[in-house]
Amino acid sequence: MSNIPVDVKYAKTHEWARINEDGTVTVGISDNAQDQLGDMVYIEVPGVGQTVTAEEACAVIESVKAASDVYAPIGGEIVEVNDSLTDTPETVNQDAYGEGWIFRLQPADKSEMDDLMDADAYEEFLESEAH
Amino acid sequence: MPFIPHTESDVRDMLDAIGVRSVEDLFDEIPAGLRMGKLTGVPEGLNEQGITRLMMERAEADGRPLCFMGAGAYEHHIPAAVWELTTRGEFYTAYTPYQAEASQGTLQLLYEFQTMMAGLTGMDVSNASLYDGASGLAEAVLMAVRGNRTSKSHRILMPVTVHPEYRQTAHTIVNNQDIELVEVPYNSGGGHISLDSLRPFEGEDIAALVIQQPNFFGILEDVDALTEWAHRQGALVIGVVNPTSLALLTPPGEWGEAGADIACGEGQPLGVPMMAGGPYFGFICCKQALVRQLPGRICGRTIDRDERVGYTLTLQAREQHIRRSKATSNICTNQGLLVTAATIYMSLLGADGLKRVAQACHANTRKLVAALTASECVEPVFNRPYFHEAVLRFSLPLDTIMRPLHAHKLLPGYALSNDYPELGDALLVCATETRTDGDIETYASHLSRIIASQTAAGCPVKPKMA
């Protein structure tokens, strides 16, 4: 049973998004996603200053099994990326919702957060995907 | 293992098993209007005796002219051991295997090749080879656009002193991918790219600057100044280099303060015969920071769980069998057999041997230029240092000289009038370590006799005097 914290929202493509006090949004991948992908070997983070739209592929995570795109859950401008993942990609496996964050963006339209799933909806989504 | 075709009775058995009368019937689905029918321009097949004779006659027609031509492919002496070993079945049969069938011996060879190329170019990493120098430049351009995070422009500065065919090939490959190759003119006195030529681009958003060293004219560019300029502009530097020359010249990894970012070029000079144009191989090397943007195969060295050293293709998530359309390139192979020859060539010569080859090429080209410019009808075009090739201008129309020289079984050089019409009757001449003093004397004496007969009183051809 994977960890699904309630303080974040979830995209169908298994990213999580957390609104911070300053209005920016931090993004990572869910515990379910890191478990499915296996041991991380490399994270290609987006560029600071890059503008993304919702559902646009903006990062790549490479595990021993596969290389997968990470999609922006909402649109905005990237203001910070987690450079430490270059040296320790395994942080995404160990602490997917904390130190394993991938990038932080300034949202273009905060209401896009409403299109994402809450913890319960994501849990149901995972169960339906499993069958 | 020979080629084992089906026998007629094999074919009959298979047709009977599926209930079909003939092999032609299997193509019934193709509408009659689209079917080729007989290939009317193609003669009947020959048997082995017939084809052997035909090929020998064709080969004789080529002749073996004395070669003073370079322009991207160079005649070098290849020690006999190189192809004796390369054509051994262990290398020759599965000459460029995929991961699943690649032996540890083959992979170790690729790793050693990569190590040698990285050392020769002064870069951190090399891949296991590309098709040729021209497509290597195209790959380097694509790589620079992907790898330059600060540039958004997709504009690449491409000096006209880069090999014309490399520029055409790069254009073909990158043109439909929203990448613009911007021409940079050369200095007419030096035949090089001066900072004056780059001034119009100062302050613009440029993804990369391409520098060929030596350039197509054989001229040495100011690689340090050009590299510094590019890096100040936030552009990456792509060095297109000749591997023999690297034994003498500063390698791309040491250009300017930080070195070039990507180095590529044609590997043919390293133990690959000229073979009427191919197959050759391209090499591409880069700084560590760009390694994940490298196209093609990369071989890595690691240890297995018993701590024995092993080799494997690595960083495969760049490649299309994993990333599909997002791969760094559509290439999914390398030039394994030629890389084998090149690695054995470099091993046999060693660093010292390669340096002596380069020194001999340089010395011989200087002798050639001196011998040919002794005639008052021949002068050097550019006034800067050159390596193993030089541009000479003739005060007579070039074809009045070329045809008689060809008749004397001599390839005098590469005529530049198609690619650089502004240079007039100009010839790119080259003398590698394979040209002796006697060869140079042969060229010079034929040339002076031809010039004398053209300029003699009463000769209907009026020469243009400089």
| B205 pLDDT more than 50 | yes
Convert chain A into a string of H (helix), E (strand) and C (coil): CCCCCCCCEECCCCEEEEECCCCCEEEEECHHHHHHHCCEEEEECCCCCCEECCCCEEEEEEECCCEEEEECCCCEEEEEECHHHHCCCCHHHHCCCCCCCCEEEEECCHHHHHHCECHHHHHHHHHHHHC
Number of domains in chain A: 1
When pLDDT is cut at 50, 70 and 90, the band that residue B458 belongs to is low
For the segment B226-246, the average pLDDT, to the nearest whole number, is 97
Contact A67 B323 (CB under 8 A): yes
In a domain, A87, yes or no: yes
Report CA Rg, chain A.
14
Which pLDDT tens digit goes with each residue over A7-34?
999 999 999 999 999 999 999 999 999 9
- Choose the mutation target among B322, B324, B325, B328 for the interface with A, i.e. most A CBs under 10 Å: B322
Residue B35 has a pLDDT of 85
| pLDDT at residue B258, rounded to an integer | 97
pLDDT of B185 above 80: yes
pLDDT band at residue B208 under the 50/70/90 scheme? very high
> Which one has a higher pLDDT value, B205 or B62?
B205
Q: Which of A120, A50, A88 is nearest to A70 (CA)?
A: A50
Mean predicted confidence (pLDDT) in B76-89: 96
**Does some domain include residue A98?**
yes
CA distances from A101 to A10, A28, A55 (A): 14, 5, 18
Nearest CA in chain B to A57: B326
Asked if A69 lies within 8 A of B326 by C-beta distance, the reply is: yes
Of B149, B292, B322, the CB nearest to A47: B149
What value does the mean pLDDT take over residues B112-133? Answer: 97
| B377 vs B278: CA distance, rounded Å | 35
CA pair distance A32, B303, nearest whole angstrom: 31
pLDDT band at B355, cuts 50/70/90? Answer: very high
Q: Cβ distance B123 to B253 under 8 Å?
A: yes
**Lowest mean per-residue pLDDT among B98-112, B123-137, B248-262:** B98-112
Q: Which of A11-15, B151-155, B331-335 has the highest mean pLDDT?
A: A11-15
User: Which residues are B208's β-sheet partners?
Assistant: B156, B236
* CATH code of residue A24: 2.40.50.100
Residue B465 pLDDT > 80, yes or no?
no
Q: Is the pLDDT of residue B103 over 80?
A: yes
Chain A: give the shortest CA distance to residue B316, in Å.
10
In a domain, A92, yes or no: yes
Does residue A35 belong to any structural domain of this protein? yes
Q: What confidence score (pLDDT) does residue B64 get?
A: 87
* Contact indicator for A31, A96 with CB cutoff of 8 Å: yes
pLDDT computed for residue B102 by the predictor: 84
pLDDT at B464: 59
Name the pLDDT band for B426 (thresholds 50, 70, 90).
very high
Q: Could you say which of 3.20.20.70, 1.10.540.10, 3.20.20.80, 3.90.1150.10 is the CATH number of the domain covering B66-73+350-455?
A: 3.90.1150.10
**pLDDT tops 70 at residue B463:** no
Structure tokens at B175: 């043109």
pLDDT at B59: 87
The verdict on residue A115 lying in a domain is yes
A44 contacts on B by Cβ (under 8 Å): 292
Q: Which residues contact residue B36 at a Cβ distance below 8 angstroms, ignoring those fewer than 6 apart?
A: none
Top CATH class, B80-344:
alpha beta
Cα dist. A127→A120, A131, B169, B185 in Å? 11, 7, 52, 64
Q: What is the pLDDT of residues A34-68, one digit of tens each?
A: 999 999 999 999 989 889 999 999 999 999 888 89
The answer to whether A45 touches A82, Cβ cutoff 8 Å, is: yes
Write out chain A residues lying below 8 Å of B149, CB-based.
47
> How crowded is residue B121: how many other Cβ atoms within 10 Å of its Cβ?
27
Closest CA–CA distance from residue A90 to any residue of chain B (Å): 17
Domain ranges of chain B: 66-73+350-455, 80-344
List pLDDT tens digits, range B288-329. Answer: 999 989 999 999 999 999 999 999 998 887 887 777 888 888
B323 contact residues in A (CB cutoff 8 A)? 67
Average pLDDT in the B213-226 region?
98
User: By CA distance, what is B293's nearest residue in A?
Assistant: A44
Q: How far is it, in rounded angstroms, from Cα B127 to Cα B129?
A: 6
The distance of A5 to chain B (nearest Cα, Å) reads: 31
Nearest to B383 by CA among B209, B194, B251: B194
Residue A45's domain comprises 9-130
- Is B322 in CB contact (< 8 Å) with chain A? yes
- pLDDT higher than threshold 60 for residue B462: no
Contact between B396 and B438 under an 8 Å Cβ cutoff? The reply is no
- Is residue B289 less than 8 Å (CB to CB) from chain A? no
Mean pLDDT of chain A: 93
Query: Which residues on chain A are in Cβ contact (under 8 Å) with B292?
Result: 42, 44
Interval B197-220 mean pLDDT: 97
Which ipTM score applies to this complex? 0.74
**How close are the terminal C-alpha atoms of chain B, in Å?**
63
CA–CA separation, B374 vs B371, rounded Å?
5
Residue B466 has pLDDT above 80, yes or no: no
Is the predicted pLDDT of residue B461 greater than 70, yes or no?
Answer: no
In a domain, A3, yes or no: no
CA distance B93 to B95: 5
pLDDT at residue A1 greater than cutoff 60: no
CA geometry: angle B298, B299, B303, nearest 5 deg: 140
Which of these, B353, B383, B360, B382, lies nearest to B435 by C-alpha position?
A: B360
The answer as to whether A4 is a domain residue is: no
- A44/B292 Cβ within 8 A: yes
Question: Which one is predicted more confidently, B33 or B70?
Answer: B70
pLDDT band at B421 (very low <50, low <70, confident <90, very high): very high
Closest CA to B312 of B295, B299, B296, B303: B299
Mean pLDDT of B208-213: 98
CA-to-CA dists, residue B402 to B59, B80, B357, B415, B450, angstroms? 22, 33, 28, 9, 10
Cα dihedral sign for B62, B64, B65, B70? positive
How crowded is residue B293: how many other Cβ atoms within 10 Å of its Cβ? Answer: 20
Q: Could you tell me the sign of the dihedral formed by the alpha carbons of B2, B8, B9, B11, in that order? A: positive
Backbone angles phi, psi at A70, to 5 degrees: -110, 130
* pLDDT for residue B260: 98
- % of chain B surpassing 90 pLDDT: 79
Whether residue B321 lies within 8 A of chain A, CB to CB, comes out as: no
Of A108, A127, A107, nearest to A117 by C-alpha is A127
Average pLDDT value for chain B: 93
| Cβ contact, residue pair A66, B149, below 8 Å | no
Q: How far apart are CA B184 and CA B206, in angstroms?
A: 13
A114–chain B nearest CA distance, Å: 30
Task: End-to-end CA distance of chain A: give it in Å, rounded.
Answer: 15
Q: Is the pLDDT of residue B460 over 70?
A: no
Q: Is the pLDDT at B418 greater than 60, yes or no? A: yes
pTM: 0.86
- Whether the pLDDT of residue B120 is over 60: the answer is yes
Chain A residue with CA closest to B292: the answer is A44
Q: What's the pLDDT score for residue B327?
A: 83
Q: Is residue A97 part of a domain?
A: yes
